[in-house]
Each structure stands twice: as C-alpha cells, then as structure tokens.
Amino acid sequence: MSEQLTGADILIRALEHEDVEIIFGVPGGAILRAYDSLYDSSIRHVLARHEQGGGHMAAGYAHATGRVGVTFATSGPGATNLITPLADAYMDSIPVVAITGQVGSRSIGLDAFQEAHTWGISMPATKHNYLVTQVDEIASTIREAFHIASTGRPGPVLVDITKDALIGKAPWRGPGQLDLPGYKPSVKGHPRQVTSAIEMILGSQRPVLYAGGGIIRAGASEELLAFATQQNLPVVTTLMARGAIPDSNPLTLGMSGMHGTYTASTAMQRSDLLVTIGARFDDRVTGDPALFAPEAKVIHVDVDPAEIGKIRNADIPIVGDAKAVLGQLIEAGERALEGAPAPERSEWFSTIAAWQRDFPLAYDQQPDRPILQQYVIDELSKRTDADTIVIAGVGQHQMWASQFWGFEKPNTWINSGGLGTMGFAVPAAIGAQAGMPDTTVIAIDGDGCFQMTFQELITAAVEKIPVKIAVMNNANLGMVRQWQKIFYDNRYSATELSSSIPNIVMLAEALGCAGLRAESPEEVVPTIEKALAINDRPVVMEFVCDPDAMVFPMIKAGGSNDEILMGPEDL
C-alpha cells in the first residue's frame, strides 16, 4: 500500500510541487495542522503581524516576481482579515492563492468557535474559491487553484480547508489533476480580427496605443515596444501599466486620466483610434464615458471577454493574451507594411509635441519652502537604478509617484490601482523585497496609509527584509483634503492627522528599523543617500511635506477629459 499522509502533509507537498518558495501568513487553531507540516518543509514562512499584511505581501511578491503569491490564515477572523487583500488582488488581477483553515466539517454552520462562512464571504472577492472537506480533494484543489490564479486573467483563489480534511489521511497520488471543463482562457486572437486591426491602424490619422496592466501581467513589454515602434504609435499607459514601456522612449506620453499628463489625456481625447491592449476603460481614465474620446474608433484586446464592450463599444474586439496577440499584430503589421516604414503621422506627432512643450509635468521646489513630495520622488528616482521596485500607497503621494518616477522596466511599479487600498504599500513592499532580495525596493507612502499597516515593519525587521519606506508626512489625509478644498469649500472634516504623533523616527527605531527625517528641502538628498546606504535592516525616511500641495493635472471625477485643471489657478 502506498504511504498514508495527512491532509496537511498533502497540502504542503502539493505546494512544493507548485514550486512555492515562500508563504506569508499567521497561524491559528483551524490551520495548525498545516503549520505543523510546514515546519518540516523547505518552504520559507514569513510571519505577518496581521493577515491583511500577509495577503498584501503575497500580492507584492506576485507582482514583483510574476509568480503566484501564497498566504495562509486561520478560520474566522484570520480569514475575514484576508478579504481586503483578496479584493485588492482581484481588482488588479494579481495571482494569489490563499489557504485558510476552517472548523471541522461537522461543526460547519453550528457557530463553532472561530467559524466564519469564508467561502461565502470570499466568493465575490476572488476569481474562484473552494471549500475542501475531504482529504483526497486537497491535491487536486491546489493544482486547480494555482492554474486558475495564474492563467487567463490572473487573480486570487481561496482554498478553505476543514480541520478534519487536514487531519485525515490519504495516500499521496502525485500532484492533482485539472478537471475544469468550463475554464478555457483564450490565448491567440482571431487572425481575421488581427488583420482588420492592422488595416484600421494603418488608416488612422491620430491613433493612440492605450496600454493597461494586462501588458504587465502578460509579460508583453518587449512586444509592446516593438509594436508601437513598428506602427509608430504614441503610447499612453494606465496607472497599472506604468513601466510597461520605458518613460525615456519618445513614443511614451505617460499616464492618462484623472491625474494623468495633459498630453496623455488630451491625445486620447482627440484621437481617432484607441488601440486598447489589456486596459479596461476605468472611470479614472475615461471620466464620463459618454464624453470620452468622442471621435475614436476602438480596437480592444483583452484576455477577459467580459471587459470588451463593458464600458466602451469595441469596433474590433480581440479576445486573447496580450503577449500572444501583440506577437500576431507584429507579424500582421510586418506583412502589411511590406518593408515600407510606418506612417509618419507628422501632424499628429507635432500636435503632441506642442502639448508636451506647453503642458509638461513640473514642480517648483523653493529652498525656503516646505518639502514638495514631487521633489522627493524625483530625487529618489534619479538616485536609484532602473531595476528599483517602487511601491505606492493610495493618495496624493501615489499619483506623484506615478507622475515623477521615471519607469524604464515592467514590474518595477506596484500599487493598488483598482481597489485603492490604503495600507497596501508597506506589506506589498515586504512581499516584493522577499521575492527580489537583490533589488532595491522603495515604498512611497502617505502618513495616513502608513498608519494603517506600519506594524508589518516588525515583520520586515525580524525577517531581515530590508525594504525602504519613504513616508510623505503632510499631516493630513492629503488626497481627501484636496477634494475638500476643491469640492467642499475648504471644510476639512476629519482629514487632519498629527504632524508629530506618532514620532515616525522613534517609531521606526522601535519597530527595528532605521529612522531618518528630512524637514527642509536641503535635507532631502542627504536623507535619501543615508537611506540608500543602509541595507542590513529596513529604513523609514520621513519627509515633512507641504500639507497644502495639490496634485495636478486633475480632471474632476465623472467630468469630461476636455476639462483639465492644470493648477490651483484653474480652480
């Protein structure tokens, strides 16, 4: 008879078969047996201080490495604490597998200690989820979970396993089999659609390539650059796609939308063709969809057919993986051009160049004025190499990071774009650093966001994961304050934080990190240099910033992208 293993041993062995190298999590009663089996495994476990942290770490790891991130939590509160990171990963299509313990199958529904209906709660926050009650279902469920998380449009998958399934015994029959007759993600695009797309592109006068996070997930950056170059297309990236094409490339117009560059937003608005790849016409990009890019035809490439036509009708829909379809487009483009150069579109490019000249992204750091976040971000960007991974929280600092960091490579920009989860940056940076130990990882965080999850710096210090955190201390929930200034007549209801509490430098030291502070512009560069020289533990840099600075350009929520506010004078 073959060797009998416990469900927990099978779980860990199945994870080893998926080449899992690291798990972020917190143990507890219902998942204890799994942790006992993990004790004998070579898989590293990072003990988070909160399951939300563990979940964002797994996402940060996945985002930075392109691999599936794994997180463990116990039943009840452990599982409910995971919901925010799961919803976050779902919105941003990040492959994460969450394993949660569940009470024994005979106690389900009886309000047992630490029972929560994890399957039901997590269903709308995941791409798929499972409740496993039988030991012999564990191996195949893990195989399916990793397959679903990492293929098609990636996303989080939760596997809830009852205590009795973890304790029960079964033989190891090898990694499980896939049994998913209803799940067949498309890879290649329809060849005829691809050919029509090239014809439409060649016939367009004012095309824009609208590149979304799907490019990053598909690992299609090289193809994107090759295709944009071949067809001579200006490229706009969404927030999620920063780094998909080098910012230094002259075709790159930057981010579009609510806080995008004037040029990127206006080019889309005036274009006659949006070549949309792996993007989803998010409201932060389009403003009022009825007023968005009124003259543009749309080619829409997406691996998820439900994205096509969801917000904006597509003239040419192409369902497929961004990398595969870009490959097809490049081939079809080559055939159509027959060695001739791509259309020059000189009028379009000179219009774009004029916008770039007249409406650049800029800031003015006066030496005797408070520190501007843009200045800090600019200096950080200049003083680090192109491989540096930047993670942002949610708020003004996030928008400035996207605007003022010079991205040259994919997967160097990690942020919570879809859900907009404050508290994402610190744990996501830890996950990214754990997956990329030889790369500099810098989180740019707001003081509000930082106070949501800074306890994970304890994890970083104890586990020797030397992330660098730049806390932009403007003593306010800055982005909300900006809206109150613009839309609520300067009535600052519940947005003021304290500039001195907590003392961030002392706090950093207490958490086992190095703490540094810059209070004036001339202290910025020395602080950055000091921080970059510390590599044996996490570093927190506090930058005491101007609370009144506002993010521009700005398009009002639900407004028209024709009305771009360029500065306070436009209010």
The answer to whether residue 476 forms part of the interface with ligand TPP (CB under 6 A) is yes
Cβ distance to ligand TPP smaller for residue 130 or 400: 400
- Tell me how far, at minimum, the Cβ of 257 lies from ligand TPP, in Å: 16
Environment class of 116 (CB within 10 Å of its CB; exposed 0-12, middle 13-18, buried 19+): buried
User: Which residue type does 363 have?
Assistant: Y
Structure tokens at 333: 């483009």
Select from 108, 336, 480, 532 the one that contacts ligand TPP (CB under 6 A): 480
- Provide the binding-site residues for other proteins, judged by CB under 8 A: 119-120, 123-124, 127-128, 131, 148, 152-153, 180-186, 303-306, 309-310, 319
- Pick what 213 binds: other proteins, ligand TPP, none; C-beta below 5 to 8 Å, kind-dependent: none
The answer to whether residue 507 forms part of the interface with ligand TPP (CB under 6 A) is no
Under 8 Å CB-to-CB from 505, ≥6 apart: which residues?
515, 516, 517, 540, 542
Select from 447, 456, 463, 542 the one that contacts ligand TPP (CB under 6 A): 447
Cβ atoms within 10 Å, residue 241: 28
The answer to whether residue 448 forms part of the interface with ligand TPP (CB under 6 A) is yes
The answer to whether residue 541 forms part of the interface with ligand TPP (CB under 6 A) is no
Cβ distance to other proteins smaller for residue 128 or 397: 128
Cβ distance to ligand TPP smaller for residue 380 or 394: 394
Looking up tokens 């190298």, which residue turns up?
A: 21
Cβ distance to ligand TPP smaller for residue 35 or 90: 90
Structure tokens at 321: 């993986």
- State phi, psi for 18 to the nearest 5 degrees: -85, 10
- Pick what 182 binds: other proteins, ligand TPP, none; C-beta below 5 to 8 Å, kind-dependent: other proteins
CA dihedral sign, ordered 235, 240, 244, 248:
positive
- Catalogue the E-assigned strands of 103-151: 128-132
- Pick what 25 binds: ligand TPP, other proteins, none; C-beta below 5 to 8 Å, kind-dependent: none
- Pick what 468 binds: ligand TPP, other proteins, none; C-beta below 5 to 8 Å, kind-dependent: none
The answer to whether residue 474 forms part of the interface with ligand TPP (CB under 6 A) is yes
- Catalogue the E-assigned strands of 172-280: 207-211, 235-237, 252-255, 273-277
Cβ distance to ligand TPP smaller for residue 479 or 511: 479
Select from 397, 429, 457, 516 the one that contacts ligand TPP (CB under 6 A): 397
Looking up tokens 């927190």, which residue turns up?
A: 540
Cβ atoms within 10 Å, residue 504: 25
Helix (H/G/I), strand (E/B), else coil: 236: strand
Structure tokens at 164: 């009795």
- Pick what 119 binds: other proteins, ligand TPP, none; C-beta below 5 to 8 Å, kind-dependent: other proteins
Q: From CA 305, how far away is CA 301, in angstroms rounded?
A: 9
- Tell me how far, at minimum, the Cβ of 400 lies from ligand TPP, in Å: 8
